[in-house]
Structure 1
Amino acid sequence: MGRNRENLVRHLVDEYALQDEAEALELLDKPAPNDDVLEWYSRRGSASAYYELQKLDLGPELGVSGSRGAICFIDGPCPGNDSLIVTAQDMTSLSLLRARLNEIEAGILVRPAMW
């Protein structure tokens, strides 16, 4: 078993309180139900920015009245969509976010994604 697979098996055992590695290996060999994959992607896989940034003090430059930029945290943008999304109002907001993360030494890389 490769190192990445071994790490994944250990993670599954710990994260999901499985009995042993054999149970984790059995899960890995089964196809995941589509609903589970979608739930993981929208609420965990793509949501790391949402969770990480929401915990931080982003400072006075972002998101308050009279501020120079805005970062929006969106929890489920429409019915039937459980995505957790972080958006920047504009490139200035993105630049201010990067500056603030560097200032507080958050260790978070910010890259724009085009939808």
Structure 2
Amino acid sequence: MKIIVSNSSNEPIYEQISKQIKGMILKGELNEGDLLPSIRGLAKDLQISVITTKRAYDELEKEGFIETMQGKGSYVAGQNKELMREKKLKIIEEKLAEVVEESKLLGLNYEEIEEMLKILFQEV
């Protein structure tokens, strides 16, 4: 499992880890029952605090992406893929609604936003 953290990102490290693991689960790169690296092992690999890694795992568990069994480790939880996809789509819709509101305040039209989105979609 390859996770990349950036110290220059505005996003906290635990959120970077959590987001990347969620993405792997949603894309099917991690499947139900897969064992995740231990908290200590991941912290060592990423050269970060165990507390940071634990916080990422706690967030993932709280959101239902992983299950932790005392003494056995953390595993990918069973997921309803369609429900997870819907949750992600809702988040995207909310963010796009914010973009539309800001665009209208700046007087940008649909074509300008569409062009920006095309450029960003190719770059990211």
Q: If the length of structure 2 is used for normalisation, what is the TM-score?
A: 0.33
- The structure number with the bigger radius of gyration is 1
Question: Structure 1 or 2: larger helix share?
Answer: 2
Q: Compare relative contact order (CA 8 Å, sep 6+) and give the higher one, 1 or 2.
A: 2
